[in-house]
Structure 1
């Protein structure tokens, strides 16, 4: 979403269909949008062909006579969603793995035992199920991390998701990230070869790594960024996924980007260790990111399941990264599904309003519809360049989600029943 909300301009077609009296979130509206009882006025959304051609304050009088009209009576409407961090290769394996112990490293071990079952048919079936669920729930852009062994050659799942991404390209934008253990990048020639394979996949591929205190290697992280820069790749890291205040992946990544002038987008998932730092130290880390091309992705469901996990003891720490403090510094913050029905998280349905329900509670988010729903809608926060401060609908595909039974005070509650529009047509 990059174009300001505005009425039709010269050259834009008049609406052929109209969504009347929609309640859009405040972040999607211009500063001078009219208010009604301290709330944004309802909007009329004009659609022609497959795109939105006008967003204007609702008028009860009939001014134009489009071919079709849908009176929403104030129902909430958002753009379709971006699921910025998932694991389609692992999804729907929990029924096969009953003995995973508590915590992140135990889940990694359990997942490794299942990998022998990952045939082409198994991967296609489970990944397709995940894509179908995401699409029907209202997602239009999904990014999946793919486990990558220590060799430079891509794994089977990498090829399968590339094929599925092409098959789904008319419905979903599918991106794939190499999830590689950080020490693999310790040798630059090896790192460069791996980055070459990622770049050869095409523009939907991103270079990534698992960066944790258990495998920490500063030189390897530097080599990762050097290789990404050399091959024109963005970077997406699993970083500091632990409640260890000594974890230093995020702050080191910021130093490397600053010193090297890395030109791509750096997406950092988890960053749980920020929650273990004192306020002053956490502020220093976030200050170091604030003028760099970083995006943070918060993953409330998996982090709540894994962090501070000890058998027989109620966890005392939430493990969610500092989303309020990051946003206050202008750092883009997204929420995402992460693991779905696998050893890392036994729950989940690739449903982002469901994720936001958990995120709203655990992060105590104020005004989640008006102020925070952008954190599941702003796909431009994953791309290169400086994203606009305000987003809009005009000129964008008519991919929308209507929530007829929720309201701006209770959203994302009561969102299970929704209507998804793709290119202006209801699913």
Structure 2
């Protein structure tokens, strides 16, 4: 993570001989979605002033030759779990299974999730994401009582403290089976808390009795408060899991006007073709956006001890995009029982997603899945190269998609508001005081 610009950028400068994706230039109507164009970028007083044809004389002091290096806007991570992050050293998943993850996180939450513990781990994760070049993050927050009374106020504090570096959005997270118990009371309380915090309504959905009634309750709680929705959906390879279809049908039946995101949707990959097509058509009609979490899905799905996994566990992104359904990929969990690895690096996520989901041949504009598409869903001004906006950029030595995807951890420099930032990643030792049960 060394500086590509020898002296760094300090608010103003001229970046010549850059390579930029046409699909990420705001207002560009290039007909070839995977087109990379040679360009010069003029930065003044912290803003990206102009994107010019390569070789345009600048007459400016502070000219930097990128030698064909790629330039991307800072990226947008649509689905993370900052509150779970980095607990692996003290609470590993005993067998790598989904059930093992649930039990391990539940035990760790009960024992350790104080405001002090959460703050240290969340800030560590944010420092990592910032150094990698992420400027907006949506995080799901475990929201069952009494944890909600600790996590949500802390999240609001951290969001304010990080406002000039990363735009943060919070989504409440609880299993929809909670509504089988004291559902109405809990739902009203958590929806009010989310609304007060300017968050997003969410739940983990799976096939429980009266699923349509419970989905409608969540939808109506959001509608009454003007909230968007973001669900965990069918995170299983059980073909009987069809809550994705029920969500789309509920949205259509109620005329929901807010934004809806559904994450995971793994079971769709094992549905019969005709059934999958029906669900995809409903998603398109309802205007539902999808976020796939390929690294976590591959880690958890189709895992059986002593048996090689047969299935990737990811959803039907190509078929969705062909119908005009907005699709993104994101980091999901980081060093916790649901995913033992990761570092909130969206360049790594994009590279892994390309391999796992075959987002290549052609590359097309799949880079939008970690940039402009999630930015539009979150309604944040990131993920595009926009003249007149703050110069928030990632500069690479890689010159082509192939070079970037082959070496995603290669040299990069992050520019925020026209200034080169310190891209040094936090040391894991910073969290040692929290790791009560050190594990390999």
User: Shared fold (TM-score greater than 0.5)?
Assistant: yes
Query: In structure 1, what is the Cα distance between the partners aligned to 2:35 and 2:202?
Result: 42
Report deviation, 1:43: 1.3
Instruction: Look up the match of 2:178.
Output: 184
Kept in 2: contact 1:340–1:346 (CA 8 A): yes
Counterpart among 370, 375, 378 of residue 376 in structure 1: 370
Are positions 1:52 and 2:48 aligned together?
yes
Kept in 2: contact 1:26–1:370 (CA 8 A): no
Query: In structure 2, what is the Cα distance between the partners aligned to 1:258 and 1:110?
Result: 37
Query: In structure 2, what is the Cα distance between the partners aligned to 1:367 and 1:411?
Result: 15
Report deviation, 1:99: 5.2
Counterpart among 147, 165, 175 of residue 171 in structure 1: 165
Report deviation, 1:284: 1.6
Counterpart among 281, 297, 300 of residue 275 in structure 2: 281
TM-score, scaled to structure 1: 0.88
Query: In structure 1, what is the Cα distance between the partners aligned to 2:47 and 2:305?
Result: 52
Query: In structure 2, what is the Cα distance between the partners aligned to 1:22 and 1:51?
Result: 17
Q: How many residues get paired?
A: 403
Counterpart among 267, 284, 309 of residue 261 in structure 2: 267
Query: In structure 2, what is the Cα distance between the partners aligned to 1:176 and 1:141?
Result: 11
Kept in 2: contact 1:33–1:41 (CA 8 A): no
Kept in 1: contact 2:96–2:337 (CA 8 A): no
Kept in 2: contact 1:406–1:412 (CA 8 A): no
Deviation track 1:192-220 (CA, whole Å, cap 9, x = no partner) reads 33211110112xx1111011236872211
Instruction: Look up the match of 1:8.
Output: none
Instruction: Look up the match of 1:408.
Output: 401
Deviation >4 Å, runs of 4+:
32-35, 367-370
Structure 1 residues 285-364: aligned runs within 5 Å: 285-364=279-358
Query: In structure 2, what is the Cα distance between the partners aligned to 1:130 and 1:369?
Result: 29
Report deviation, 1:93: 0.8
Kept in 1: contact 2:98–2:300 (CA 8 A): yes
Query: What is the SS of the residue equivalent to 2:174?
Result: strand
Deviation track 1:266-301 (CA, whole Å, cap 9, x = no partner) reads 111101111111233212211111133321111011
Report deviation, 1:184: 3.0
Kept in 2: contact 1:34–1:57 (CA 8 A): no
Query: In structure 1, what is the Cα distance between the partners aligned to 2:32 and 2:101?
Result: 50
Are positions 1:134 and 2:129 aligned together?
yes
Counterparts in 2 of 1:18 and 1:369: CA distance versus 1, 3 Å: farther
Long gaps (5+) in structure 2:
1-10, 422-440
Report deviation, 1:55: 1.6
Counterparts in 2 of 1:367 and 1:403: CA distance versus 1, 3 Å: farther
Query: In structure 1, what is the Cα distance between the partners aligned to 2:337 and 2:117?
Result: 17
Deviation track 1:129-161 (CA, whole Å, cap 9, x = no partner) reads 00000000000001111111157x824122222
Range with greater deviation from structure 2 (300-309 or 276-285): 276-285
Query: In structure 2, what is the Cα distance between the partners aligned to 1:172 and 1:383?
Result: 13
Instruction: Look up the match of 2:16.
Output: 20
Range with greater deviation from structure 2 (371-380 or 164-173): 371-380
Kept in 1: contact 2:19–2:399 (CA 8 A): no
Query: What is the SS of the residue equivalent to 1:18?
Result: strand
Kept in 1: contact 2:142–2:173 (CA 8 A): yes
Counterparts in 2 of 1:16 and 1:357: CA distance versus 1, 3 Å: closer
Report deviation, 1:371: 1.8
Counterparts in 2 of 1:141 and 1:369: CA distance versus 1, 3 Å: farther
Instruction: Look up the match of 1:121.
Output: 116
Query: In structure 1, what is the Cα distance between the partners aligned to 2:32 and 2:148?
Result: 53
Query: In structure 2, what is the Cα distance between the partners aligned to 1:406 and 1:155?
Result: 48
Query: What is the SS of the residue equivalent to 1:95?
Result: coil
Structure 1 residues 5-84: aligned runs within 5 Å: 17-29=13-25, 30-32=28-30, 40-58=36-54, 60-62=55-57, 64-84=58-78
Instruction: Look up the match of 1:92.
Output: 86
Counterpart among 76, 96, 106 of residue 112 in structure 1: 106
Counterpart among 197, 203, 213 of residue 201 in structure 1: 197
Instruction: Look up the match of 1:7.
Output: none
Query: In structure 2, what is the Cα distance between the partners aligned to 1:76 and 1:56?
Result: 15
Long gaps (5+) in structure 1:
1-14
TM-score, scaled to structure 2: 0.86
Counterparts in 2 of 1:384 and 1:22: CA distance versus 1, 3 Å: closer
Query: What is the SS of the residue equivalent to 2:89?
Result: helix
